[in-house]
Structure 1
Amino acid sequence: MSKSRIYWTLQIVGWTGLMMYEFVVYSAQFGLEADTFLWSVINIFLAIGLTHVYRLIVRRWNWSMLPLPRLAFRVSVSVLILGSVMSFINIPVDREIIAHDLANQPFVFWGYISGWCKNMLTWVLAYTVYHYVEQTRLTELEKIMLKTSMREAEAKVLRSQLNPHFTFNALNSIRALVSENPMKAQQSITQLSNILRNSLLADRRKTVELREELKTVEDYLELEKVRYEERLDYQIQADPKVLYWQVPPMMLQTLVENGIKHGVSKLPKGGKLVVLASLEDNALLIRISNTGCLGTTDSGGVGLLNTAERLSILYGKEAYFKIFQEQENTVCAEIRIPTLSDGLQRYNGETPLRSEVV
């Protein structure tokens, strides 16, 4: 049933029940009269009409958005007006009651008005409170939707980032390979195209499977291997149970790039980078460790800040990212991602990503 039908049903049933109850009480005291029944019916339509006008005013001027003190003042004035209108219309009909009670109750007139005001107050409070709560709920929902849209826009920007310096360096390395090792140059071009394709698609997807992300990381490290040669050793290991886990696209590549740029590349003899993905406490734990010191690895760039922000956008407080000095000459970036997809259920026993040590 629609809200409009519910409203009119409650209006008709509520006011009819109240007026018929008062008609029965009146008839028991003063006798059954046809005119009294007719006025009871008239009062039903009159009460419905007056309260409906109040409803239209509330909706027209959006009273539910007012601060509570201002709303309370308007409700009080409205109740007084509605009760007074009903009273003055019904005074000619109820003159016998007023005449009977006037001798013993000097303030019977105001008591008469207050009786109608109580009836109107019950309806006005019920409708106003409902409308106020409903409007507040819709406002909060709109805020949530707006915040979600803003965070999604931010996430798209964060997902689509790719260091242009890497592309430039990769192309220079491939150019050197064209004459020295054409087969390797062809393989490197394929790897670079895979990375660029994933970068272009990143802003269209919130998450990707871990195995796809690790493949991008592997292509990236292979291209960097062409540049740094024996100065770079790397290793990738992943528990087969987490290969289908959903992770933000290009996030690991950003962290791996940070480890090489601010760690391995700064050492004359180079160093080693290790990527480990495992399942711990029903959550995906990714550790990226590289040779270097935290003072040089943690550059404070947007890459590390974006990683924490992206995890917060997608997973909330259940996820975390931290970077710390694990050993004297080893920096570790650690990511924890809670269950977001059916990664564990989709695990079908495939062999894990090839563990490679170069």
Structure 2
Amino acid sequence: MQVFQYALAVFVLGILISHGFRAVILRFGWIDKPFESVAVFFFAGILICATVYSFLLTCISMISTHDQDATFNDFWLRSFSQQMVFMSFWAVIYFLWHYVEESRNSQVRQLKLEATVRTLELKTIKSQLNPHFIFNALNSIRALVDENPQRARTAITELSNILRNSMQADKAETVSLENELSIVKDYLALENIRFEERLKVRYDIDPETLELPIPPLMLQTLVENAIKHGISREIKGGEILISSHVHDMQHEISIRNTGQIVENLNGSGIGLASTRQRLELLFANRASFEIYNLDTQMVMATVRMPLL
């Protein structure tokens, strides 16, 4: 019976003292501070709790045993060493649990923050792109209104297709290559109004890549760049070759066009900058983009993305 009473006292006092210690920790915010700044208070708290715990247990033990030969110091010293181990173990477990939980919550918050920032950045980039190519398309249609009304009506239909696909693209981080190609073909049909025989377009598309995801409006942006900085500067116009293949477990899209890079296009312009930004946001360092003079007459822009 005495053993049961003593065990019950150990259990009840342990709960009361550990909860009291926890209340002090929370009250002074020790768990929210660097451990080195609260280490002294931490160990002082363990010492005080162990002292109080062992004193109360010693009193209970002396009363329950009625052992006249046993001294208070004998009970207290034995109990104190045990309670120091117990309270130290409890405090270490408590702090470790808190730090692990806080670390996990911090990682979750960081991931949510990064996802939010990435979404906002993507929306900002796409909001810059849409007016850019719409403006060029409207210029092409304007030239037809008087001289060829029928073709102008067809061009308006093509522009509406671009706008419809663009609005849908704004809702997703990626679209299929097939969907992007439909926008590009409508865009090139509009540009053909301006350039007529000066613009020739060829496609080299692996059918197996049509369902692969790419950033929305990326291909259209690169084609527009090829026309603006390449074809439009050539008196006789030129050719654009759009290719899509899979090499070494990467989806490789290339746009080859007549022209030459006569300025530093690698870091300038909304179109090229947005291409790099979106690739970085979506694929980190697993994707790449480069543009360079292929020879003395052609420019090559190449995008490589991992297969998802």
* Fold shared per TM-score above 0.5: yes
- 2:291 maps to a residue whose letter is I
> Does residue 1:50 correspond to 2:17, yes or no?
yes
Contact 2:176 2:212 in 1 (8 A): yes
Q: Mark the CA change 1:99 to 1:312 in structure 2 (over 3 Å): closer, same or farther.
A: same
Match of 2:163 in 1: 196
Residue 79 of structure 1 aligns to a residue whose secondary structure is helix
Gaps of 5+ in 1: 1-33, 341-358
Match of 1:83 in 2: 50
Match of 1:205 in 2: 172
After the TM superposition, list the runs of 4 or more consecutive aligned residues in structure 1 that deviate by more than 6 angstroms: none
Hey, what's the Cα distance between the residues in 2 that align with 1:252 and 1:64?
51
Residue 161 of structure 1 aligns to a residue whose secondary structure is helix
Match of 1:355 in 2: none
Hey, what's the Cα distance between the residues in 2 that align with 1:255 and 1:320?
14
Match of 1:306 in 2: 274
Report matched runs for 1:1-358 at 5 Å.
Answer: 34-59=1-26, 62-95=29-62, 99=70, 112-162=79-129, 164=131, 166-296=133-263, 298=265, 300-340=268-308
Q: Mark the CA change 1:183 to 1:247 in structure 2 (over 3 Å): closer, same or farther.
A: same
* Pairwise CA distance, 1:212: 0.6
Residue 321 of structure 1 aligns to a residue whose secondary structure is strand
Q: Mark the CA change 1:59 to 1:290 in structure 2 (over 3 Å): closer, same or farther.
A: farther
Hey, what's the Cα distance between the residues in 1 that align with 2:283 and 2:79?
61
- 2:303 maps to a residue whose letter is I
Residue 60 of structure 2 aligns to a residue whose secondary structure is coil
C-alpha RMSD over aligned residues:
2.5
Q: Mark the CA change 1:333 to 1:187 in structure 2 (over 3 Å): closer, same or farther.
A: same
Gaps of 5+ in 2: none
Contact 1:213 1:250 in 2 (8 A): yes
- 1:328 maps to a residue whose letter is T
TM-score (norm 2): 0.88
- 1:236 maps to a residue whose letter is Y
**More displaced 10-residue stretch of structure 1: 237-246 or 77-86:** 77-86
Residue 178 of structure 1 aligns to a residue whose secondary structure is coil
Residue 128 of structure 2 aligns to a residue whose secondary structure is coil
**More displaced 10-residue stretch of structure 1: 299-308 or 220-229:** 299-308
- 1:318 maps to a residue whose letter is R
Q: Mark the CA change 1:73 to 1:292 in structure 2 (over 3 Å): closer, same or farther.
A: farther
Q: Mark the CA change 1:169 to 1:243 in structure 2 (over 3 Å): closer, same or farther.
A: closer
Q: Mark the CA change 1:237 to 1:57 in structure 2 (over 3 Å): closer, same or farther.
A: farther
Contact 1:311 1:320 in 2 (8 A): yes
Hey, what's the Cα distance between the residues in 1 that align with 2:289 and 2:257?
16
- 2:54 maps to a residue whose letter is S
Hey, what's the Cα distance between the residues in 2 that align with 1:97 and 1:274?
103
Percent identity over the alignment is 40
Hey, what's the Cα distance between the residues in 2 that align with 1:194 and 1:63?
61
